[in-house]
Chains A and B, each alone.
Chain A
Amino acid sequence: MRRVAITGLGVVSSLGNDPDAFFDSLACGRSGIVALPAPGKTGNQVLETPATHIGGAVAFDGARFFPAPKLRMLDRASQFALVAATQAVRDADIDFDHPGRQRSGVFLGTGMGGAQSTDDGYFTLYAEGSARVKPYSVLMAMTNAAASWIGIEYGLTGPNLTYSTACSSSAVAIGEATRRIANGEVDVMIAGGAEAPLNYGTLIAWDAMKTLATADLEDPGASCKPFAKDRTGLVLGEGAAIVILEEWQHAQARGARVHAELVGYGLCTDATHITRPSVDGQTAAMRRALESAAMRPDAIGYINAHGTATLSNDAVETAAIKQTFGAHAYCVPVSSTKSMHGHLLGAAGALEFVAAVLALERHIIPPTINLVVPDPECDLDYVPCNARIGVDLSAVMSNSFAFGGTNAVLICRTVIA
């Protein structure tokens, strides 16, 4: 199997619109979760702002990045993806020359695709009572739009696939892209995820599941409390994260700077319940990732947890980490950066993987903020409230688990020539 280098990173997030700004915010324990503006469009209905109307919202003006004719064809999720991809390609300093394009592709993950465009279309149709839905609606809302636009942007004619496995989508995309490179099918992959779920219809649908956190209206940034006794649920976030994955020799030959080596990918499915997480399923995914990396559990120096802050996930994930790591579970720092950027659903795996790569590179473990009241069921080292600086890390793990039961775990390690 061929080795896979991570040579480029790109981020659009509520904590900053580039990888440095994003990680600096994480290291400071700053939250990007804010109160969302009341729905601006009401048509002929009076729409109430739900109590949970908070989110990890991105400060982003698409007009800064795209000319008007193109912007009108791009859902917010695709805009995020294209901007993050541009950053990652620039960071990798890679030119896709003609023969290289055939051996390069794009794998993205998204849970809800162009949810904003779907919401806009239904608003026009049902609230305004008009059939003048935008002619681009289908092309904006389709789940594979973001990946397709990236492929067109760089002329990549290798595989272009979109994975939709809810909250593990982009971890799956990165893992599958890694396998394609390792197998020799392709040399360079643009991989990651994008999500833009902070529209009224999507928020209401999530609210209806009763999985969203009770909003702290005084301090929205304090609403998401992973692993805490007083946790009340998840907070939705938006954004995109993209990595450039490159076959090791290909990266070496062009003198590329390598952030880290992607060495482990574990994938499995619970096949038990549509929402309820499974200790055995999560354990199997972590074990498979360790096996594929040929690593013992004690080689892992940091776990970026799935850590949604739902009652169920955090207890189950804690149990699964104990089952996987044995006694080492109490020694390895585990944190949920969702406490700061919220849950990006299909983009969560990619954003948190980038957080893990940067933790490895910078020797900084980002904290789980808002973890003040410990839960006896969650008794690991969750790096509460403050980052740890100057930590010697050689390998890190990023967990992504999902509604539907698809569990994906990624492991990367420092560069060893």
Chain B
Amino acid sequence: MTTLQSVQGILQASFELAPEVLQPEAKLEDLAIDSLSVIEVMFAVEEKFQIVVPTKSMRLLAEIKTIRDLVAYVDALIAEQHPALAGGAVAT
């Protein structure tokens, strides 16, 4: 499963969104996922990918506008924290 698919799965389950609206270019704001909800999503992301989202990264989180941005952010953390897994195929 790719990071994109995993992130889509988390968003779908957490916000009861239809899979077709969860396109990479979709804006989180348009999906009614605000900045505090993104933090909650990060808790699920941490568990799913066995990574730690730095607590001082609020500025970075604020820059996440689309699902593609979110996936890129997660991929960057995976590359940093699990170099062997970097490149897409992941985890639990």
**A209 within 8 A of partner (CB):** no
B63 proximity list for chain A (CB < 8 A): none
Which DSSP category, helix, strand, loop or mixed, fits chain A's interface?
loop
Which positions 19-47 of chain B face chain A at CB distance < 8 Å?
Answer: 31-33, 36-37, 39-40, 43
**A72 within 8 A of partner (CB):** yes
Can you name the residue of chain A whose Cβ is closest to the Cβ of B36? A135
A70 proximity list for chain B (CB < 8 A): 32
Which positions 64-106 of chain A face chain B at CB distance < 8 Å?
Answer: 67-70, 72
CA distance A67 to B32 in the complex (A): 10
Residue in A69, A134, A139 whose CB lies within 8 Å of B15: A69
B37 proximity list for chain A (CB < 8 A): 69, 72, 135
* B: interface residue count bin: 10 to 19
**A68 x B40 contact (CB < 8 A):** no
**A132 within 8 A of partner (CB):** yes
**A136 within 8 A of partner (CB):** yes
**B15 x A68 contact (CB < 8 A):** yes
Give A262 Cβ to nearest chain B Cβ, in Å.
38
Residue in A67, A68, A69, A135 whose CB lies within 8 Å of B39: A135
Give B42 Cβ to nearest chain A Cβ, in Å.
9
Residue in A69, A132, A134, A139 whose CB lies within 8 Å of B33: A69
CA distance A134 to B41 in the complex (A): 10
Residue in A68, A134, A136, A139 whose CB lies within 8 Å of B16: A68
Give A124 Cβ to nearest chain B Cβ, in Å.
10
A132 proximity list for chain B (CB < 8 A): 43
Give A130 Cβ to nearest chain B Cβ, in Å.
9
Which positions 133-184 of chain A face chain B at CB distance < 8 Å?
Answer: 134-136, 139
**B15 x A135 contact (CB < 8 A):** no
B16 proximity list for chain A (CB < 8 A): 67-69
Can you name the residue of chain B whose Cβ is closest to the Cβ of A133? B43
- For B39-66 the 0/1 string (1 means CB < 8 A from A) is 1100100000000000000000000000
CA distance A68 to B31 in the complex (A): 11
**B33 x A136 contact (CB < 8 A):** no
B31 proximity list for chain A (CB < 8 A): 69
A67 proximity list for chain B (CB < 8 A): 16, 32
**B32 x A136 contact (CB < 8 A):** no
**B33 x A72 contact (CB < 8 A):** no
Can you name the residue of chain B whose Cβ is closest to the Cβ of A132? B43
B14, B36, B43 — most chain A CB neighbours (10 Å): B36
CA distance A136 to B32 in the complex (A): 14
Can you name the residue of chain A whose Cβ is closest to the Cβ of B34? A69
**A136 x B15 contact (CB < 8 A):** no
A69 proximity list for chain B (CB < 8 A): 15-16, 31-33, 37
Give A378 Cβ to nearest chain B Cβ, in Å.
51
CA distance A69 to B40 in the complex (A): 12
* Given known A68-B15, A68-B16, contact A136–B43 (CB-CB < 8 A): no
**A134 x B32 contact (CB < 8 A):** no
**B40 x A135 contact (CB < 8 A):** yes
B40 proximity list for chain A (CB < 8 A): 72, 134-136
B39 proximity list for chain A (CB < 8 A): 135
B14 proximity list for chain A (CB < 8 A): 68, 72
CA distance A68 to B36 in the complex (A): 14
- For A256-299 the 0/1 string (1 means CB < 8 A from B) is 00000000000000000000000000000000000000000000
Give B16 Cβ to nearest chain A Cβ, in Å.
4
- For A362-404 the 0/1 string (1 means CB < 8 A from B) is 0000000000000000000000000000000000000000000
Can you name the residue of chain A whose Cβ is closest to the Cβ of B31? A69
CA distance A135 to B40 in the complex (A): 6
CA distance A139 to B33 in the complex (A): 16
CA distance A134 to B33 in the complex (A): 14
Interface residues of A (CB under 8 A from B): 67-70, 72, 132, 134-136, 139
Additional 15 contacts, C-beta under 8 A, given A69-B37, A72-B37: A67-B32, A68-B15, A68-B16, A69-B15, A69-B16, A69-B31, A69-B32, A69-B33, A72-B40, A135-B36, A135-B37, A135-B39, A135-B40, A136-B40, A139-B36
Interface residues of B (CB under 8 A from A): 14-16, 31-33, 36-37, 39-40, 43
- 22 A–B pairs (Cβ distance < 8 Å), ordered by A: A67-B16, A67-B32, A68-B14, A68-B15, A69-B15, A69-B16, A69-B31, A69-B32, A69-B37, A70-B32, A72-B14, A72-B37, A72-B40, A132-B43, A134-B40, A135-B36, A135-B37, A135-B39, A135-B40, A136-B36, A136-B40, A139-B36
Top 8 A-B residue pairs of the complex, sorted by shortest distance between their CB atoms: A68-B16, A135-B39, A135-B36, A69-B32, A132-B43, A69-B15, A135-B40, A68-B15
